[in-house]
Structure formats: C-alpha cells, structure tokens
A = this chain, B = another copy of it.
Amino acid sequence: MSEEPVGGDLSRLRQLNASAVLRELRGDQPLTLTELSKRTGLSRASTEDVARDLLGRGWLAEVAPASGSVGRPARRYRFNAGAGRLLGVDIGGHKALALVTDLDGKVLNQTRITVDPEAGRRERLAAMDRCVAKALAGAGVEAGQIWSTGVATTGLVDGSGKVMLSDSLPEWSGVDLAAHVRRLVPGPVRVENDCKLAALAETWHGVARYAKDVVFLLAGLRTGAGLIIDGKLHRGFANWSGEIGALPAAGWLRAPEHLTSWLEGTAASPSAPVEFESVFIAARAGDQSAVQAIRDYVQDLAVGASALVLTLDPQLVVIGGGFSRSADVMVEPLRRELDRWCLRTPEIRVSAFADEGVALGAVRLALDEVEATIRTGLRP
C-alpha cells in the first residue's frame, strides 16, 4: 500500500542493487566484495560491477586491505560519507543551533547562538543566518557543498516548509522557513517540528536505534511527543500527530508547573532552562519537597504518555528534552506510573543527546532527501 516497489527499466534493477550495496555498507566496518556479494545475494561478478560503478561515482571509497588472512587479500570498500555535506538547523526559543555533518551524520561543526526569547521574526531569522554561516565557516565548507538541509522549529509545520502555528515564539506563525533557508544553501530544504525530529534522531544515532515503534517524549519547559511508527516518522494527515497535550485530561500543559512552582519556592528564577537542574539536584540529594515536585510532574506527564503508549504499543519510550539530562531520577517514577495505566509498559530510555538531538534529527531529515534521490538516480 504505502511505498510500492515499482519496476521499470533494466537500469532500475541496477539502482535497486546499488542501493542494496550501499545499505550494506552503511554498517560501520568496511566489506570485501565477497562479503557484499553474500549479503546482497548478488553474484560476485555483479557485485563487482556495481561496486566499480559506485566507486566511480564517489559513493564508495576503498580501504586498505586487511592483512593476516590466508589467500589473496581482498579489496575492501566503505561508504564514502565524505562525498557530501548535510546541514541541520534547530531554531528554538533561546538558541539557534546548526550542525554541519557528513553523510553518516558525523558532526564536522556544531555552532550555537543564543537568541533572545522575545526576539521577533526578523531578528530570529538573522540569528539563524549567522549561526549557519558560522557553522559552515567552522567546518570549512562552502554553502554550495551542502547537498541537503533540514530545519527544526517549534510549532506546526506544513508540507511546504511554512510554520503554520507557533504559540511559543513571537511573530513566528506564518514564516516560510524553507524559502528563507533556500536562500542560504542550494539543494532541498525540508522543515519539520522539533519533537518529531528529536524522535528521528533517536532512531538514527540515539538510544532507539533498533526499535521500529518508538514514542519520544520531549520533557522540558514545553512538553511534546514525536512518534516513530514502523521505522518511519509519523506525521499524520495535517502534521498534528503526537499532540496529546491538547487533551486536558493528559495534563501536559500544567505538568511543568509542578517544577516551576518548586523553583519559585526557592530563590532561583526559572527563566533560564539551566536553573531547572536545581530541582533534580535537590531531589538527588534527598530533598523531599523536590522529590514530591518531580513525582507530581511525572504523574501528569505519565497520563498523556500512557495514552500514547496504549494507542501505539511501542517497543520503547525515550525521554528527551531539557529535563533529560537529569532524567535518571524521572525514569523510575515514570515507569511506576506507566505500570499503573498501561497493559504492557515498554522499555524506557533516556536520550543520550544534550540539546543537539533536535538538530541531528534535522540532519537525518536532510539525509532522507538524499537517500530518496539515491533510489531514483545516483547523482555524483
């Protein structure tokens, strides 16, 4: 139903076999032709032909042969991640973050610029531009070398890359991010919601690598979710998926207040997200009021999370977002709450990313675009 493998020309067959070879080589260790041939099911001779082809086009690179085995040493190939460059941008409330990576997602440069949360559209876009320029310069990459770009933003994004609605950022609804970024870099530009991209990053290089169905919870000043279903990012009909927070019964809107009100009880102001650490630090030190605040928070979080879990029955729940650095104290209470509601409580893991997960997801989005073009014509 979804993506019917379509037939066609003989060249189409070559394309399929070439992507099969590339897929095998996305694993980390280089492979010999014989190994490749076994994995793809192609004959050795054809594998050789395909590999020669891909090598000529720059998709593969040769690696020094392994020594120490009997027989003639085999040439070894690896995916040439350096063939192209990807750009991932996360434009949020307090910061702009840009990643320049290779085709494996290896970060060549990570640049962060702080942005005034009150900044208007013009100012925020300008900050993003500076951030991108700095990241490109830092990686020693011309804008023209960027193959594909992904952009993450809060709020709801339509298919063409416009921000439809954003309550948290001033003057942000309606901005055509894709068009704006297309002026900076060539190649395709895709825009997506930050929660969704954070989820995507987890299945790519994060803690959800081997799961097909994943619920990602963004736990921070905002609460949100991103869903991976059958290995793919689920968007929904109008890209509104995962917005369970809209249900008052879920309690996601009020959930963070348990933490902010605890902070207000202490001296620190909760304006900067860093300050939030203190609740978790206090809880870890045994402060009962902090423990209780976190418990209340998790209790509210868990109702919505349970709704997501009961709906989808995922293999895995990943906690990310601003609070995830301190999420070790959240996991157990969350598990207990989920046990209360869910028929089968999934595994719970904490994101290993700091705050670059969203931008990495944007890179993955950019890579999706590249891989789609692989399937329909191998360009370089």
- What is A's interface to B at a CB cutoff of 8 Å? 1-8, 10, 12-13, 15-20, 23, 40-42, 212-213, 227, 229-232, 234-244, 246-250, 303, 306-308, 310-315, 341-344, 346, 375
Contacts and interface: CB of A to CB of B under 8 A. Distances in A.
A236 B40 CA distance: 29
Contact of A344 (B15, B240, B313, B346): B240
Given A7-B13, A13-B7, A313-B241, A342 B246 contact: yes
Contacts of A5: 3, 5, 16, 375
A10 B167 CA distance: 54
Nearest to A315: B237
Contacts of A247: 303, 306-307, 310, 341
A156 to B, nearest CB: 9
A8 B41 contact: yes
A230 B229 contact: yes
List the number of copies, as a whole number: 2
A307 to B, nearest CB: 4
A79 B246 CA distance: 47
Given A2-B230, A238-B344, A243 B13 contact: no
A232 B3 CA distance: 11
Contact of A232 (B1, B13, B15, B244): B1
A307 B244 contact: yes
A10 B7 contact: no
B313 A7 contact: no
Contacts of A2: 2-3, 212, 230-232
A246 B341 contact: yes
B13 A244 contact: no
B314 A249 contact: no
Given A2-B232, A6-B16, A230-B232, A239 B313 contact: yes
Given A7-B19, A7-B42, A240-B344, 6 more contacts: A1-B232, A8-B16, A236-B314, A238-B344, A240-B310, A243-B343
Contacts of A23: 4
A22 to B, nearest CB: 11
A255 to B, nearest CB: 15
Contact of A1 (B231, B240, B246, B249): B231
A374 to B, nearest CB: 12
Contacts of A341: 246-248
Contacts of A312: 227, 234, 236, 241, 311
A201 to B, nearest CB: 14
